[in-house]
Amino acid sequence: MQEKFTGSKSYIADSELLADVNAAIVLEKPLLVRGEPGTGKTMLAHAIAETMGRELITWHVKSSTQAKEGLYTYDVVQRLNDSRFGGGDVADIRSYIKMGPLGRAFTSDTQVVLLIDEIDKADIEFPNDLLRELDEMAFFIPELDETVKADKRPIVIITSNAEKELPDAFLRRCLFHYISFPKPDRMRDIIDAHLPKLDISLVEAAIARFYGLRDVNGLRKKPSSSELLDWLMVLARSGAKAEDIANRMPYLGTLIKRERDLETLKRRGIRV
Amino acid sequence: MFDLLLHNLRAQGIKVGISEWITFLKGLDKGLVTHLDELYGFARTVLCTSEAQFDGYDLAFTATFEGVEIPPNLSDALLDWLRKEVEAEGDLERPDIPIEKLWEEFYKRLSEQEEEHNGGDRWIGTGGKSPFGHSGRASHGIRVGGGSRNRSAISVASDRQWANYRTDTALQSRDFQVALKQLRKLTPEGEWELNIDKTIKKSCDNGGEIDFSFERRRTNRVRLVLIMDSGGSMEPHARLVEQLFKAAEELKGFRSFEAWHFHNVPYGYLYKDYYSNDRSSIVELLSQWTPQHRLVWVGDASMAPYELFSPTWRDSRCGLDWLKMIQRVCPYSIWLNPDPVRFWDHPTVSAISMIYPMFPLSVDGVRAGVRKLLHAHSATVGR
């Protein structure tokens, strides 16, 4: 098991990101990662877990997610059902308490990586409800009259797409890292890590067209790196050569998903 | 020493709190920073909470460290020794010495160092018990910076690559959305629904006697109306206005959203689309609008004074009268002005800002405006 994060073969991190992750580990603070969709925010947690040999516990936040669900749930309906119709040990509340992702991360015997994914999807108050839990890495279960406290503080990675502003009190408790969109150089490394055997001239041509596309004004959704990878994969499978994409952009649908954006591009004379 | 960084950050509007500052010092103490390059990245990750602050951070960082020549090649042994010294002093207290004094001392040490040319042993050695050394972690930080690296960190910082992310100037549809989203004030409304968990819990608390618990869904009651000046002097701002419009249009969750256009100042009509002459009379619109409607005007508000103050040949009311009339029906409204604030000293701009609170059309401006509208909201609810 490593004590430091060094990046992995399939996850290309720049030195700033590595330093920030390691600072978060040393200071035992959550690391809030923000950036455009498709810059590999979620993948970061996977890469940390993989290279450091830690278990990864993921909590996907949705608009309806309540903070308490991350700690534990108490299945009252099941308990009531069991008490009426038998089955289960009704006297044992513990068997109706189920740990959520945070609960599991805190009770784990070894240090884990906890990913709280897309925290901005939930209600504005949601992050505030987790302040104490993340500060102290502990919470209280009134039903059991017990406090759950982490022996090994998990490495906490929180991602946000900046859909909503996060409360100041929450931001103050996190380290912050912004993943900017990769420059062509780093994009080459990323492509090389995922699709190692591609023809270099095709990759170069695709990168040029891709960044050209991102510069088109008036696109509602700019294509991201994962979409570039998809596009390259399709191009490679179809046996396309660099000159095939010089004047046209076949399989544009892998890059551009919105009808209106496709129309915008057509009006600008981009041929499919 | 680092106090100056803190001071410069606050001067840039980056409100660093005491807890982040302690985290920062703790990080230095734990040896996370061994040269100024790392200091740049580390301080940013701890002290900034958004990429919008990065540009301000770069400016503060440059202001703090630019021109500071720091001796290169500090050996690890020296670092260890230094760290021990800092720990031996063992507290975060700083002596009460003015920052200028510290700087003076700092420069003195540095010039001595240039004479010696041997890894900074001497000046750090003699500095051990000095006031400068007393400032503990702070001086520790500057000392461990490598000279050449220092300059590179400065050059990164002075590149100002984050300038486009500033929220007081940079404008992206998404940023507008985030700002506008705060307008969503949820109020319990609609169908009552049975809350099963609560019902069971209350029934159990009640000794098994069924005790129903009902709740209502929370919905947003705000109605948003965007009214945009189009054409003429607004031409240079067209993209900006378009972005705001896009943001508002795509933002679901308002009870209703309408967008209207006018030219310079509304006379009698608002236009669905300024070019197609699809219009509605203001009098008619006002019969539908209520104080629940939040009006967001977008325009530069500057025009020839007669356009605002003089009646036209077909209407005895002047532009200002129309604006006042609309304000009376929808009192909770704001005006966003794309022109820089320094141009606002203009008769028509000040006349309009007397009616509608005016904010710059930037993300920060929209945020401030939304806050104004929200206060209005709680005022209506309170009544």
Q: Would you call B38 and A162 a contact, using CB atoms and an 8 Å cutoff? A: no
Quote the pLDDT of residue B109: 58
Determine the residue among B20, B32, B49, B195 to mutate to test chain A binding: the one whose Cβ has the most chain A Cβ atoms within 10 Å: B49
| Residue labelled with tokens 């991201």 | A224
Determine the residue among A16, A72, A75, A135 to mutate to test chain B binding: the one whose Cβ has the most chain B Cβ atoms within 10 Å: A16
Q: Would you call A178 and B182 a contact, using CB atoms and an 8 Å cutoff? A: no
HSE-up (13 A, CA, CB side) for residue B250: 15
- Summarised one tens digit per residue, pLDDT across range A48-73 is 999 999 999 999 998 888 888 999 99
Helix axes B238-250, B173-181, angle to 10 degrees: 50
Query: Do A195 and A23 form a contact (C-beta atoms < 8 A)?
Result: no
Q: Would you call A178 and B54 a contact, using CB atoms and an 8 Å cutoff? A: yes
Quote the pLDDT of residue A38: 73
Query: Contacts by B302-306 with C-beta closer than 8 Å and gap 24+?
Result: B302/B233, B302/B339, B302/B343, B302/B346, B302/B348, B302/B349, B303/B233, B303/B264, B303/B265, B303/B348, B304/B348, B305/B347, B305/B348
3-state secondary structure of B260: strand
Residues of B in contact with A31 (CB under 8 A): 45
Closest alpha carbon to B345 in B301, B378, B299: B301
Q: Would you call A165 and B200 a contact, using CB atoms and an 8 Å cutoff? A: no
Query: Contacts by B95-99 with C-beta closer than 8 Å and gap 24+?
Result: B95/B131, B95/B134, B95/B135, B97/B131, B97/B135, B99/B3, B99/B4, B99/B7
Residues of B in contact with A19 (CB under 8 A): 32, 38, 41-42, 45
Q: Is the ipTM of this complex over 0.90?
A: no
Quick one: DSSP state of residue A165?
A: P
A–B CB contacts, 8 A cutoff, strictly below: 71
Determine the residue among A32, A33, A172, A264 to mutate to test chain B binding: the one whose Cβ has the most chain B Cβ atoms within 10 Å: A172
Q: Would you call A172 and B196 a contact, using CB atoms and an 8 Å cutoff? A: no
Residues 6+ apart with CB under 8 A from A179: A17, A33, A34, A35, A36, A39, A40, A41
- Summarised one tens digit per residue, pLDDT across range A96-106 is 999 999 999 99
Closest alpha carbon to A112 in A165, A188, A59, A164: A59
Start-to-end Cα distance in chain A: 49
Q: Measured between alpha carbons, how far is B333 from B357 in angstroms, rounded to an integer?
A: 8
- Residues for chain A: how many in total? 272
Residues of A in contact with B44 (CB under 8 A): 176
Q: Give the gap in angstroms from C-alpha A93 to the nearest C-alpha of chain B.
A: 13
Query: Do A115 and A166 form a contact (C-beta atoms < 8 A)?
Result: no
The residue of chain B nearest to residue A23, with distances taken between CA atoms, is B32
Nearest Cβ partner for B48 among A80, A162, A176: A176
Nearest Cβ partner for B200 among A24, A76, A164: A76
- Phi, psi at B19, each rounded to 5°: -70, -40
pTM above threshold 0.80: no
Q: Give the gap in angstroms from C-alpha A195 to the nearest C-alpha of chain B.
A: 30
Q: Measured between alpha carbons, how far is A18 from A7 in angstroms, rounded to an integer?
A: 7
Helix axes A200-214, A184-194, angle to 10 degrees: 130
Closest alpha carbon to B246 in A261, A243, A97, A29: A261
| Residue labelled with tokens 């930037």 | B362
Task: Please classify residue B67 by burial: count the beta carbons closer than 10 Å to its beta carbon, then call 0-12 exposed, 13-18 middle and 19+ buried.
Answer: exposed
Q: Measured between alpha carbons, how far is A69 from A145 in angstroms, rounded to an integer?
A: 18
Q: Give the gap in angstroms from C-alpha B323 to the nearest C-alpha of chain A.
A: 33
Closest alpha carbon to B336 in B364, B288, B297: B297
Residues of A in contact with B240 (CB under 8 A): none
Quote the pLDDT of residue A102: 93
Residues of A in contact with B46 (CB under 8 A): 23, 27, 175-176
Number of helices and strands in chain B (H, E)? 18, 9
Q: Would you call B41 and A20 a contact, using CB atoms and an 8 Å cutoff? A: yes
Q: Give the helix/strand (H/E) hosting B308.
A: helix B305-309
Quote the pLDDT of residue B164: 58
Q: Give the gap in angstroms from C-alpha A176 to the nearest C-alpha of chain B.
A: 5
Q: Would you call B51 and A77 a contact, using CB atoms and an 8 Å cutoff? A: no
Q: Flag residues of chain B having pLDDT under 70.
A: 1, 67-174, 185-190, 219, 231, 252, 273-276, 313-314, 376-383
Nearest Cβ partner for B200 among A80, A165, A173: A80
3-state secondary structure of A155: strand
Closest alpha carbon to B180 in B241, B237, B254: B254
Determine the residue among B33, B37, B45, B194 to mutate to test chain A binding: the one whose Cβ has the most chain A Cβ atoms within 10 Å: B45
The residue of chain B nearest to residue A168, with distances taken between CA atoms, is B49
The residue of chain B nearest to residue A143, with distances taken between CA atoms, is B201
Residues of B in contact with A173 (CB under 8 A): 19
Q: Measured between alpha carbons, how far is B291 from B294 in angstroms, rounded to an integer?
A: 7
Residues of A in contact with B48 (CB under 8 A): 176
Q: Would you call A176 and B42 a contact, using CB atoms and an 8 Å cutoff? A: no
Question: E strands within chain B?
Answer: 186-194, 214-220, 223-229, 256-262, 269-273, 278-281, 293-298, 333-337, 358-360
Quote the pLDDT of residue A247: 81
Q: Residue B73 carries which side chain, given as an amino acid letter? A: N
DSSP codes, B199-225: HHHHHHHTTT-----EEEEEEE--EEE
Nearest Cβ partner for A176 among B45, B181, B197: B45
3-state secondary structure of B5: helix
In A171-196, which positions are buried (b, 16+ CB within 10 angstroms) versus exposed (e)? bbbbbbbbbbebeeeebbebbeebee
Q: Would you call B23 and A34 a contact, using CB atoms and an 8 Å cutoff? A: no
3-state secondary structure of B369: helix
Q: Measured between alpha carbons, how far is B20 from B43 in angstroms, rounded to an integer?
A: 10
The residue of chain A nearest to residue B30, with distances taken between CA atoms, is A26
A interface with B, Cβ–Cβ below 8 Å: 16, 19-20, 22-24, 26-27, 29, 31, 34, 76-77, 80, 162-165, 168, 171-178, 180, 220
Q: Would you call B32 and A165 a contact, using CB atoms and an 8 Å cutoff? A: no
Nearest Cβ partner for B181 among A27, A34, A164: A164
Q: Would you call B178 and A34 a contact, using CB atoms and an 8 Å cutoff? A: no
Kindly state the tokens that stand for B287. Answer: 């019969």
Quote the pLDDT of residue B89: 44
Q: Measured between alpha carbons, how far is A144 from B49 in angstroms, rounded to an integer?
A: 37
Q: Measured between alpha carbons, how far is B299 from B264 in angstroms, rounded to an integer?
A: 8
Q: Flag residues of chain A having pLDDT under 50.
A: none
Closest alpha carbon to A172 in B92, B53, B278: B53
Q: Measured between alpha carbons, how far is B347 from B338 in angstroms, rounded to an integer?
A: 17
3-state secondary structure of B66: coil
Q: Would you call A20 and B50 a contact, using CB atoms and an 8 Å cutoff? A: no
Kindly state the tokens that stand for A15. Answer: 């030195």
Q: Measured between alpha carbons, how far is B373 from A115 in angstroms, rounded to an integer?
A: 36
CA–CA distances in Å: residue B223 to residues A150, B220, B226, B259, B355: 46, 9, 10, 11, 20
Quick one: DSSP state of residue A58?
A: E
CA–CA distances in Å: residue B192 to residues A133, B2, B239, B250: 32, 57, 44, 29
Q: Would you call B197 and A76 a contact, using CB atoms and an 8 Å cutoff? A: yes
Q: Would you call A27 and B27 a contact, using CB atoms and an 8 Å cutoff? A: yes
- Phi, psi at B367, each rounded to 5°: -60, -50
For strand A31-35 and strand B358-360, is the pairing parallel, antiparallel, or unpaired? Answer: unpaired
Q: Measured between alpha carbons, how far is A22 from A8 in angstroms, rounded to an integer?
A: 14
Closest alpha carbon to B126 in B146, B100, B108: B108
DSSP codes, B158-205: HH-TTGGG-TTT---HHHHHHHHHTT--EEEEEEEEE-HHHHHHHHHH
Q: Give the helix/strand (H/E) hosting B27.
A: helix B18-29
Nearest Cβ partner for B45 among A23, A76, A220: A23
Helix axes A15-27, A41-52, angle to 10 degrees: 70
Residues of B in contact with A162 (CB under 8 A): 174, 178
